Amino acid sequence: MNRKLFALLCILSVVGFAAALEVDQKEIAPGAGDTVNFINYSGPHDTVSTAAEISGIGAALGRSLRGSTQAGDPARYSVIHAVDSAVKTGFDADIFIIGAGAGVDHIDNIRRVIAGYLSAAYGYTDKDAATLATYVTVYNAVYRGKMATFTERYKPAVTANLTADKVGLALSYEQWPGKTQIVIPLSDPRLAGTISAIDTTSLTDKGVVDKMKEDGSAAIDTRKDMADLKEREGDAAQARAEQSQEAAAQARTDAATKQADAAVADKAATQAAKDASQAKTAAAAAQAKADANPTDAQAQSQAQAAQAKADASQKQADAAATDAAAKKADAAQASEAVAQNEASAKADQTLADTKQSEAKAERKDIAQDVQKDLNAQDAAASEAARTASAGASPSVALRVVDETDFLSELVLVNLNDGSTLKTSTLNAVRNRTFFDTGSGLIAIAGKKGGGGAIRLVVIDPNTLEVLAQGKDSIAPQSAFAENGNDYYAVVESSGSYAIGRFDRNAELKAKSPVAIHPATAIVVTDKGLLVQSASGAIVLLRASDLTQITR
């Protein structure tokens, strides 16, 4: 099995989401707090999924929310698109929720889901989305449970969907299902579709970066990727600023022309109105004369001609007034275009300057940390060489990490001085028991719940890495016994239990036909195995085929 995929989550059916607004983190800087050291499950799983399948959960969500405010399965994975355009203070947000039925138990998989979402919803490349997802998880871990912070900075439409015991991201995988609301603030729609959809300034605040530095060299590449992203943000913003400046210059020329046209049209409208007024006055006088001399044919004709001229003048005045109003509106619109382009140019230039400055400062900070790491490596290498020259006598021990279920992790100890040489990632060895097969260590490991399973595993005694995982489910209460090259445990199948005989590779070779109590002791004798049957009787099983010898 590919060990990198050993602890992947079970794929659970979901529907996805996308958002009309872009993601923003113009947020308050994370403050001091506990170290962001995520605790992941490490043990057997019922189902192993590929990284692409896990990322697909987020991608499906990112494609499905268009035009909606909520999507997904609340029992597993869902999102709330909390937006209120009527409220201008505070942030809108997408709230990514991990439901009680979700099987995610490793931080890498949460990041894969978020990265898949960011790519599908906001157009980020896979690499940029992965970088941002890492910072998003650290950000939410820093703010875990700090409801006052979210209330202060987010709109009521967001906080109405948050609860103090769920908001943010807990450090332990055991608190993720049903207890997680990952908040992703949304930015100004002006940046929709740009590489600045997420405000990286706040995501890389000193509080967050300090937490990432605690991972030492492991976080260097991610920090470099963020600095690279910021440089590209700066370049894109600079290009937009220059385009807006050019547009503003053109708009000013256009506005000047339209303002001149509007002035000419206004003057013409004023003159036309004056001419119409004079014509109206003349028509009234002619009509008065005609009324006084009803038998004077010439007076009647002159009155009719004067009225026709007044009507024509008024029609010209109305047309001139309409033309002047239209040209004034065009001029006003052109002036507004100047203001808008100048504002965009100023905003983008500020963004460009900020991002370039941040990227430069971060690269300098990274270089200093890299040098510190190199110095530390040199010192560690010198110390390791000194220790190696003194000789070491390694031995494997177990350290209990869960006192309720008695789960342990493997530790490689130097018997010469008692120092710890290595600690396994496998943290779910059961019964505080393992056996050395000569080619590896065999143990029962795992935990039920979510995507977890209980299996036999074979472990490299030098690296403490898992070499193989058995295919058969082991009862949580199972004892574990050794007899030569055979290993015995209680096998669970559809609610019934039997003794199973396994070889050194964790492969099942025989299973007892007799139903066994799941918590039975397994006593190895010269005659066979003494175990407790499901009825409570002690029975003797043949060591080879596990058939019952006595009844």
Angle at 237 between CA 60 and CA 358, to 5 degrees: 90
> Could you tell me which of 303, 312, 304, 306 has the C-alpha nearest to residue 272?
312
CA distances from 144 to 165, 167, 219 (A): 8, 6, 21
Q: In a 10 Å sphere around its CB, with 0-12 CB exposed, 13-18 middle and 19+ buried, how is residue 155 labelled?
A: buried
Looking at the structure, do residues 364 and 376 belong to the same domain, yes or no? yes
229 domain-assigned: no
CA distance 372 to 131: 23
Place of tokens 């908001």: 167
254 domain-assigned: yes
Helix ranges (DSSP H) in 173-219: 200-203, 206-213
Q: What is the pLDDT of residue 546?
A: 95
Place of tokens 């979700």: 102
231 domain-assigned: no
Place of tokens 């929310």: 65
Looking at the structure, do residues 175 and 62 belong to the same domain, yes or no? yes
Residue type, 296: D
Sign of CA dihedral 503, 507, 512, 515: positive
Q: In a 10 Å sphere around its CB, with 0-12 CB exposed, 13-18 middle and 19+ buried, how is residue 393 labelled?
A: exposed
Q: What is the pLDDT of residue 392?
A: 66
Q: What is the pLDDT of residue 385?
A: 54
Pairing label, strands 435-436, 441-449: antiparallel
Q: What is the pLDDT of residue 300?
A: 79
DSSP string over 214-253? TTGGGGHHHHHHHHHHHHHHHHHHHHHHHHHHHHHHHHHH
* CB-based contact 445:457 (threshold 8 Å): yes
Q: Total structural domains in the chain?
A: 4
Query: pLDDT by residue (tens digit) across 12-28?
Result: 333 333 333 444 433 32
Looking at the structure, do residues 157 and 195 belong to the same domain, yes or no? yes
End position of a domain, from candidates 412, 441, 470: 470
How many residues does this entry show for the chain? 551
CA distance 539 to 549: 8
Q: In a 10 Å sphere around its CB, with 0-12 CB exposed, 13-18 middle and 19+ buried, how is residue 415 labelled?
A: exposed
CA distance 29 to 340: 30
Looking at the structure, do residues 159 and 74 belong to the same domain, yes or no? yes
- Main-chain dihedrals φ then ψ at residue 262, nearest 5 degrees: -65, -40
Place of tokens 């082991």: 474
Looking at the structure, do residues 323 and 384 belong to the same domain, yes or no? yes
* CB-based contact 15:61 (threshold 8 Å): yes
What does DSSP assign to residue 91? B
> Could you tell me which of 407, 417, 478 has the C-alpha nearest to residue 447?
407
225 domain-assigned: no
Q: What is the pLDDT of residue 148?
A: 94
221 domain-assigned: no
End position of a domain, from candidates 454, 470, 486: 470
Angle at 530 between CA 528 and CA 532, to 5 degrees: 145
222 domain-assigned: no
- Main-chain dihedrals φ then ψ at residue 101, nearest 5 degrees: -95, 5
pLDDT beneath 70, residues of the chain:
1-36, 382-392, 550-551
Looking at the structure, do residues 13 and 139 belong to the same domain, yes or no? yes
Query: pLDDT by residue (tens digit) across 357-394?
Result: 989 988 998 888 888 878 877 787 766 656 554 556 88
CA distance 41 to 457: 15
Looking at the structure, do residues 122 and 16 belong to the same domain, yes or no? yes
CA distance 78 to 72: 4
228 domain-assigned: no
**Which residue range is the domain that position 167 belongs to?**
3-214
Q: Distance from CA of residue 264 to its chain's centroid? A: 58
End position of a domain, from candidates 409, 442, 470: 470
> Could you tell me which of 161, 169, 184, 20 has the C-alpha nearest to residue 91?
184
Q: Which token pair is 32?
A: 């001091």
> Could you tell me which of 345, 274, 283, 269 has the C-alpha nearest to residue 311?
283
Q: What is the pLDDT of residue 509?
A: 95
CA distance 147 to 144: 8
- The half-sphere exposure of 342 on its side-chain side, counting CA atoms within 13 A, is 9
Looking at the structure, do residues 447 and 479 belong to the same domain, yes or no? no
The 10 Å Cβ neighbour count of residue 528 is 20
* CB-based contact 96:90 (threshold 8 Å): no
* CB-based contact 407:447 (threshold 8 Å): yes
* CB-based contact 93:183 (threshold 8 Å): yes
CATH of the domain at 523: 2.40.10
Looking at the structure, do residues 297 and 403 belong to the same domain, yes or no? no
CA distances from 53 to 64, 76, 108, 134, 430 (A): 17, 15, 13, 19, 30
Looking at the structure, do residues 446 and 486 belong to the same domain, yes or no? no
226 domain-assigned: no
Looking at the structure, do residues 481 and 463 belong to the same domain, yes or no? no
Looking at the structure, do residues 166 and 277 belong to the same domain, yes or no? no
Residues 6+ apart with CB under 8 A from 402: 408, 428
pTM for the model stands at: 0.65
CA distance 465 to 3: 8
Pairing label, strands 77-82, 529-532: unpaired
